[in-house]
Structure 1
Amino acid sequence: MKPRRANPLAIGAFVVAALAILVTALVVLPGRNWFNQPHRVVMFFSGSVFGLQKGAPVVFRGVRIGDVTDVTVHYDRQSDTFAIPVVAELEADAVRGLDGRADNDDIAHALPELIARGLSAQLGTQSLLTGQLYIDLDIRTTPKGKLRGGYSGDATEIPTSPTAFQALKTQLESVDLKKIVDDLSQIANSARTLIAAPELKQGLKDFAATAGHARRLAAQLEQRAAPLTRGAESALASVDRMGDKVSSAADKLGSGADKANELLDPKGPVVRDLQRAINELAQASVSLRDAADSDGPLLQQTERTMRELSQAARALRGLARSLDAQPQQLLLGRQPDSTPPVEAGK
């Protein structure tokens, strides 16, 4: 029997179909980078990562840039703690796009710069129903991410930061609820003891009595406040009147002071008149000193007048004696003396 030859057309169609299927798979299948070498990264989480599986997406602000490839558990003997290293592969083009250097083929420089700017990883929930998690990358300054170190594989470590829920959970776990309950119980017991104490009851009674006295005192003060207020108002009115009087007196004193200043002004007329009078008195004093001199004409005239007055006095005394001896002289005239008169000096 002659062997059957293969149909070249069928073989060509099979090859074309296989290539078409391969190209379609490369285009349709997501999360695979068939032409670019992915970049391996590792992230250490200290809490539970239940729900994070291989193939989980790694996103940056909602854009998928890689996939989780491995999730393991690491024990640190020195610190006696457990850590969960999560290994992922990031697309090189996506990482270069984050750094703004799409023309740089080496992305090993891009990740350190992004980490220096605050790039950190957190666990995010894909679905509340299934509980599946994913890796959320973002630039975060608060809280700042932490690097653990110590990974033996060839991967760049990205720091991790806890979510708000994880931070709250950690704080709640650190709270000693038993101690708080014990403290509240002790406070409640102390409050019951204080309330049941007789001193508190007596204190409440004393307080009630004091309140009653205070109310009565307030009523008395209110009754006496009205006349005191009226008296204070009248006193204030008197003070206002006195203030007005004092103000007017001050004004008068001010005007008097102004006049006194005018009178005492060295260049004023009063001071000039006083100076003129003082000068005239000084001239009169000089004239009196000159007149009182022993050789002055005024003193000589005075002596002459005194002698004349003395002679006139002697004549009057002689006339008086003559009239006393002969009163009729006023009618008959003076008679000649029989005897010569005796001089007064003898």
Structure 2
Amino acid sequence: MSDNKTAKAEVEDLRQISTIWLVPVIAVVIGIWMLVQYVSSKGPIVTLQLNTAEGIEVGKTEIKSLNVKVGVITDVKLSDDYTYIIAKAQMNKDAERMLKEDTRFWVVKPRIGKEGISGLDTLLSGSYIELQPGVNKGKQLKFTVLETPPVGPADAKGLRLVLTHDEAGKLGVGDPVLYEGFTVGRVETVSFDTKTKKANYQLFIFQPYDSLIRSRTRFWLSSGIDLKMTAEGLNLTIGSIESLITGGVSFRVPEGSEEGKLITEQMSLFKLYDNLKSVRERVFNEYLEFVMMFDESVRGLNAGAPVEYRGIRIGTVKKVPLHLATRKKGFSNKQIPVLVRIELGRVNEHVSYETTQELKTSLVREFNLGLRATLKTGSFLTGALFIDTEVYPEEKMPEIVKYEEYDLFPTRAGGFAEIQKQVSSLLIKFNDLPVEETLTSLTQSLNASQKSLFAAEKVANQLNKLLAQKETQAIPGEIRQSLQQIQSTLNGFGPDAVPYRNLEEALLRFEQVMTELQPVLRQLNEKPNSLIFSSEKAKDPIPAGGRQ
């Protein structure tokens, strides 16, 4: 029967995809998208060179710019020669535009230095690397991490200069750059050039102070305290508080010099001088060299000591001594040569000369008039000497005017040497005195005086014995009695005494007689012969016939 036939199922393949497969597909798509996002968000890998890996940890040490994370350290290893550390850092995509040739990196960590205390926030969070974006167009992926933070940003407005000096260690990074005691810049980097064998100090002068830099500007080391004891005395100079602690460098155009053109070129080279005195010495580069021959000791006279005329500086001592002794006489020569420079610039501050030859002609004329150099003590505290010049009209022009290839500047003894001569002369005169004869005569006089004293002592003793006798002691009473008798006698001649009145009457009578004798005396004065001849004149005879 058809009903009893077995039913058979038909199997067919389904063409429809199951929706369960959407889950892994979506997961793969999300993974690919995340991978693309990760790759697209990653920036370049940079290589950093460090002196030490102190505070650097792989995967933890971040790279920041203005406290925003822009990268992270991914690998740290030693260099092939084990002299430095090579670190790899994965930078963010946005940090790619910061990586220029002048981009700078440095480690931020707690520091105590010249600039003060910094990086205290890293005590808890750990050290990180700070990135300072560059401004140049060229890109770079390999950098050297700075040991200290830079002074200013790469795009800071100002002027960068390079100072050269023969010695390293004169300045440190961060030291102030001073103008008249005011900080106008900082020392950025310090390096040493093995080719030129000179130290290079890079400065950054902030704007607008960069307008102070001229072609004739000079830079010199400015220590906090500058104490000098020279022939000019004790000189103490104190800088700013910051330079007092850290030192620094100062600059300006020397007095009396033209400023020159404005410097605008970056990384211009300048020479670094040891002090302001060295700067001033360079101004006086026109000079005449003379040799001065001194008979006395030159102890205390050093190179750099001033040569003055009545307190006005006209030159500088160059070398003391020029030679230990002359080649011909050796140590038997008592004169010591000293090389000096008479500087045209110093002389022209008071008297104007066009050239050094004109100055030389004038000095030769002054030599004939008695211009001489002498050693004098500049400071009794240090014993430093200096050379003073003065005109001595009594001095004669020396016969020798050359010492080897140098012209001679005439000298004369001065200071202690002159005093020594006077003392020696006094001692010679003292030795010439007849001291022995004088002492012999003095001894005889003393002996005679001693005998006289002995005789006087003997007389005094005899007088004491005489005064001790009773007869001598009775003498004052008798003298007193005699004086009373004399007084009584004198009282008898007083105004009330009879002899005194008789004498007075006699004198009155004598005065009366003299009054009466006055006519007679007058006549005798007029006619001495009146006592012999009559004083009446005879009348003239009258003739008889003449009568009427």
Where on the TM-score scale, by shorter chain, does this alignment land: which range?
0.3 to 0.5
Greater Rg by CA: 1
Give the TM-score, by structure 1 length.
Answer: 0.46
**Greater RCO structure (CA 8 Å; 6+ sep):** 1
Q: Which has the higher helix share?
A: 1
TM-score, normalised to structure 2, is 0.31
